[in-house]
Amino acid sequence: MGLQSNVGVNGQRLWDSLMEMAKIGSTPKGGVCRLALTDLDKQGRDLFVSWCKAAGCSIRVDRMGNIFARRAGRDDSLPPVMMGSHLDSQPTGGRFDGVYGVLAGLEVVRSLNDLGYQTEAPIEVAVWTNEEGSRFAPAMVASGVFAGVFDVDYGLSRADTEGRTMGQELARIGYAGSEQVGKRPVGAYFEAHIEQGPILEAEGKTIGVVTDAQGQRWYEITLIGQEAHAGPTPMSRRRDALLGASRIVQEVNRIGLARAPFACATVGMVQVHPNSRNVIPGRVFLTVDFRHPDDAVLAGMDRELRDFVARMAAESRLEAEFKQIWHVAPIKFDPRCVAAVRKATGELGYSNRDMVSGAGHDACYLAKAAPTSMIFVPCVDGISHNEIEDATPEWIEAGCNVLLRAAVATADAIEAGGLGG
């Protein structure tokens, strides 16, 4: 059947829903703090579920707390076309990262209701638990379990810095569902997201057709020196763990700069013990985030960091515990899903360009379980993971129109065996 060329989503309704969701965990600077599995995350989930029920969807929650809102297809036995993203945020997060992909999926459902249009295959809107990896590391853990990259026990046992696990927190907020995680066919997955970088806006383009996502490695390093008095201890006798950590910060930055322009290298978290102004720090915990589109380059960055930490620790008389806790290889999205996004963008006449995602997304894991691609829209000044993160209502509507067309065309073309070639 197919959508007529003049139909689109209700951009105002989508914008209003985004602003309503942004009230949950709103910060004074206009952003959002809705960390995974907190009471605020529960409130956001509850609001999403109530909207989906009002739109006629059935709801299922799996053991990782992933939520699936389903709109029946004409042939409900076909594998669903999924759309989605995440509702959790960074501690100083914005109103669009993640929540846009979720509510754009809901807006597709609402628009199909308005049009009285039933897709051939069912469609589902997914909320993936703990995408950010801020409270519980690693990122994208629950979509990773869904895709079979991690097992459920690994996912549920991830702990925050206070030792509370995802399993405990899911039970506490009432989202420890009973569905098994994954292990069911998904016809295709589409994730709409703000770009989180500056390219689309700088080039005046409305849509990013996402073909690839870069790889990532995350590390946790603990340096142990010796706590001692800041006054009587001569400089030459000190074993200062924070001094060692500062050398790692410099080296991480050097490793990234040496592979410009594509490498990214960040120390984002440092915990100093005992964190007292007149005690030489005896123990420091720090995290490293490395990214590059080429896995071989990422492996080279890994070797340089390991060598440096071992050499620096020996020279500084520190003990170093070095752990790589996460590795996601670069992803190539499915050519059929990329083509569906490109076709929808072309039909709508939006300016566009192909893009490699710099950020990690649940789509990176879904790509291992189903044909997958992403749709990017610009964000103001390319700023994200910041309370001032912003986007225009026009960009937000445009990306959702592309999502609607790509998802419907795919859901109407799916066969029992999945997406044809």
Q: What is the 3-state secondary structure (H, E, C) of the chain?
A: CCCCCCCCCCHHHHHHHHHHHCCCCECCCCCECCCCCCHHHHHHHHHHHHHHHHCCCEEEEECCCCEEEEECCCCCCCCCEEEEECCCCCCCECCCCCHHHHHHHHHHHHHHHHHCCCCCCCEEEEECCCCCCCCCCCCCHHHHHHCCCCCHHHHHCCECCCCCEHHHHHHHHCCCCCECCCCCCCCEEEEEEECCCCHHHHHCCCEEEEEEECEEEEEEEEEECCCEECCCCCHHHCCCHHHHHHHHHHHHHHHHHCCCCCCEEECCCEEEECCCCCEECCEEEEEEEEEECCHHHHHHHHHHHHHHHHHHHHHCCCEEEEEEEEEECCEECCHHHHHHHHHHHHHHCCCEEEEEECCCCHHHHHCCCCCEEEEEECCHHHCCCCCCCCCCHHHHHHHHHHHHHHHHHHHHHCECCECCC
Instruction: Give least dist CB 216 to ligand GLV, A.
Output: 7
Of Mn ion, ligand GLV, none, which one sits near residue 144, judging by CB under 5 to 8 A according to partner kind? none
**Among 14-22, 89-97, 285-293, 331-339, which window interacts with Mn ion (CB under 5 A)?**
89-97
Concatenating the DSSP letter of every residue in 204-246 gives T-SEEEEEEE-EEEEEEEEEE---EETTTS-GGG---HHHHHH
**Sign of torsion, CA 318 321 324 326?**
negative
Nearer to Mn ion, 98 or 330 (CB): 98
Question: Which position has the token pair 């996601």?
Answer: 328
110: which 2 tokens? 């609402």
Instruction: Give least dist CB 221 to ligand GLV, A.
Output: 18
Nearer to Mn ion, 244 or 360 (CB): 360
Instruction: Give least dist CB 161 to ligand GLV, A.
Output: 17
Nearer to ligand GLV, 94 or 282 (CB): 94
Nearer to ligand GLV, 97 or 334 (CB): 97
> Is position 139 an interface residue for ligand GLV (rule: CB under 6 A)?
yes
91 to 150, contacts with Mn ion by CB under 5 A? 97-98
Nearer to ligand GLV, 326 or 350 (CB): 326
Nearer to ligand GLV, 93 or 282 (CB): 93
Nearer to Mn ion, 97 or 201 (CB): 97
Nearer to Mn ion, 33 or 279 (CB): 33
Instruction: Give least dist CB 384 to Mn ion, A.
Output: 7
Helix, strand, or coil (residue 14): helix
335 to 374, contacts with ligand GLV by CB under 6 A? 359-360
Of Mn ion, ligand GLV, none, which one sits near residue 389, judging by CB under 5 to 8 A according to partner kind? none
Of ligand GLV, Mn ion, none, which one sits near residue 360, judging by CB under 5 to 8 A according to partner kind? ligand GLV
**Neighbour tally for 6: CB within 10 Å:** 5
Nearer to ligand GLV, 132 or 169 (CB): 132
Of Mn ion, ligand GLV, none, which one sits near residue 366, judging by CB under 5 to 8 A according to partner kind? none
Site track for ligand GLV across 146-175, x = CB under 6 A: ------------------------------
Instruction: Give least dist CB 134 to ligand GLV, A.
Output: 8
Instruction: Give least dist CB 233 to ligand GLV, A.
Output: 39
Instruction: Give least dist CB 364 to ligand GLV, A.
Output: 9
**Neighbour tally for 177: CB within 10 Å:** 19
Give the total of residues touching Mn ion (CB under 5 A).
2
Instruction: Give least dist CB 284 to ligand GLV, A.
Output: 22
Of ligand GLV, Mn ion, none, which one sits near residue 139, judging by CB under 5 to 8 A according to partner kind? ligand GLV
Instruction: Give least dist CB 173 to ligand GLV, A.
Output: 21
200 to 229, contacts with Mn ion by CB under 5 A? none
Instruction: Give least dist CB 262 to ligand GLV, A.
Output: 15
Which residue in 107, 120, 124, 132 binds ligand GLV (CB under 6 A)?
Answer: 132
CA distances from 176 to 33, 342, 352 (A): 22, 37, 40
Nearer to ligand GLV, 139 or 369 (CB): 139
Binding site for Mn ion (CB under 5 A): 97-98
Binding site for ligand GLV (CB under 6 A): 132, 139, 359-360
